């Protein structure tokens, strides 16, 4: 049996500090896997430059020039981690047999790749990397991240617990992932929806080797919200249920107020009225906000904007094209 061609897909955004440390590690891993006879020597490390404003793209180009195993594509601007990974996977899907997506900061244990490839060779089409321990993450990060997975589950979105975007996907599965045309992408939720046989591989999550995280709380909350609203409509059901519940309470209160008015006891109760108005006002605003999120999503989806735009590839010459005829 021919050995599979592996492409390691790595999103990079302003990573000039960590890239020189981790790139050789990825290269070494490729070598190891090739020597162990698990993958073809035509395997590659594909960097996706996500519109970095530092020297990341220069570094990638340099590496590609010196070693044919390094290749890279460049997004026309910063579009975020999920879009960068998707761009890389879509680039890879027709040129390799398997892909492994991983962050470039060395936080996810590169050695888990051996077990991922083994699992593929044994028949799995998708292998999820699952974080067994995350001691190196701050308590806050761990707390918010794990809370996120639990919330996702309660809200009806199917995700693999403690699995981020470190995973092996076969080209066969990617061909089908390409048919998921949504613009609001949340790969963790989309990949399980494609189906096919899958398994998990656990590893310990380390600290970043250099540089700092690009996922501040704001982006994490945005990702969580996107994850939930892209995968599940349960929040809308919850709003409806809450609406019915509060309407019933309101009805009871109305009867109570009328009865008190008839009995001539209406002086008291100002405070409770105000409380109710505030409470209901708040709930209505939240509900409208959540509904608005879904409507906004629909709006974005109907536009069908491209999910990524690749402006350069290391294996293509960057040439500006001018019109032959300059008469204009």
Residues 6+ apart with CB under 8 A from 51: 13, 74, 75, 76, 77, 78, 79
Is 109 a residue that touches ligand UDP (CB under 6 A)? no
Q: What are phi and psi of 37, to 5 degrees?
A: 75, 20
CB of 78: closest distance to ligand UDP in angstroms? 5
Three-class DSSP category at 218 = helix
**Any contact of residue 106 with ligand UDP (CB under 6 A)?**
no
Stretch that binds ligand UDP, among 9-17, 59-67, 289-297, 313-321 (CB under 6 A): 9-17
In the chain the beta strands, taken as DSSP E runs, fall at 6-12, 44-49, 70-75, 98-101, 126-133, 163-170, 198-204, 310-313
CB of 185 to ligand UDP, least distance (A): 13
Is residue 169 within 8 A of residue 89, CB to CB? The reply is yes
User: How far is it, in rounded angstroms, from Cα 19 to Cα 16?
Assistant: 6
Tell me if 13 contacts ligand UDP by CB under 6 A: yes
Cβ at position 241, least distance to ligand UDP in Å = 33
Listed ranges 97-105, 169-177, 192-200, 293-301: which one lies at the site for ligand UDP (CB under 6 A) = 97-105
Query: Which residue, 57 or 125, is less far from ligand UDP as judged by CB?
Result: 57
Q: Does 11 bind ligand UDP (CB under 6 A)?
A: yes
By CB under 6 A, is residue 81 in contact with ligand UDP?
Answer: yes
Binding footprint of ligand UDP, residue count (CB under 6 A):
16
Give yes or no for residue 144 binding ligand UDP (CB under 6 A). no
C-alpha 71/C-alpha 291 separation (Å) is 43
Stretch that binds ligand UDP, among 26-34, 59-67, 210-218, 291-299 (CB under 6 A): 210-218
Footprint of Mg ion on this chain (CB under 5 A)? 103, 105, 107
Question: Residue 244 CB, nearest distance to ligand UDP (Å)?
Answer: 39
Number of H helices, E strands in the chain: 10, 8
Q: In angstroms, what CA-CA distances link 206 with 131, 168, 200, 224, 299?
A: 10, 19, 18, 22, 39
Binding track, positions 212-231, relative to ligand UDP; x by CB under 6 A: -xxx----------------
Residues in contact with 267: Cβ distance below 8 Å, sequence separation at least 6, in sequence order: none
Q: Which residues bind ligand UDP (CB under 6 A)?
A: 11-13, 15, 50, 78, 80-81, 84, 103-105, 107, 213-215
């Amino acid at each position: 049996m021919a050995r599979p061609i592996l492409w390691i897909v790595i999103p990079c955004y302003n990573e000039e500090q960590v890239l020189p440390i981790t790139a050789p590690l990825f290269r070494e891993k490729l070598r190891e896997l090739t020597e162990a006879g698990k993958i073809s020597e035509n395997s590659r490390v594909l960097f996706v430059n996500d519109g970095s404003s530092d020297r990341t793209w220069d570094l990638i180009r340099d590496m590609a020039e010196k070693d044919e195993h390094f290749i890279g594509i460049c997004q026309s601007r910063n579009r975020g981690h999920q879009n960068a990974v998707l761009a890389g996977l879509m680039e890879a899907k027709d040129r390799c047999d398997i892909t492994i997506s991983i962050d470039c900061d060395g936080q996810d244990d590169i050695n888990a790749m051996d077990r991922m490839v083994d699992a593929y060779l044994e028949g799995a089409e998708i292998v999820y990397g699952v974080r067994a321990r995350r001691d190196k993450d701050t308590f806050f990060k761990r707390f918010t991240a794990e809370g996120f997975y639990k919330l996702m589950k309660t809200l009806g979105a199917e995700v693999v617990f403690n699995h981020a975007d470190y995973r092996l996907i076969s080209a066969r599965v990617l061909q089908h992932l390409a048919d998921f045309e949504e613009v609001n992408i949340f790969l963790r939720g989309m990949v399980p929806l494609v189906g096919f046989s899958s398994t998990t591989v656990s590893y310990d999550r380390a600290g970043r080797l250099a540089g700092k995280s690009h996922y501040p709380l704001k982006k994490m909350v945005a990702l969580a919200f996107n994850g939930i609203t892209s995968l599940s409509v349960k929040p809308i059901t919850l709003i409806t249920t809450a609406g019915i519940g509060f309407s019933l309470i309101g009805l009871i209160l109305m009867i109570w107020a009328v009865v008190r008015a008839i009995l001539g006891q209406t002086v008291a109760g100002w405070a409770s009225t105000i409380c109710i108005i505030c409470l209901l006002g708040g709930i209505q605003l939240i509900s409208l906000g959540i509904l608005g999120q879904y409507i906004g999503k629909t709006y974005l989806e109907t536009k069908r904007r491209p999910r990524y735009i690749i402006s350069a590839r290391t294996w293509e010459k960057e040439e500006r094209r001018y019109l032959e005829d300059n008469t204009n």
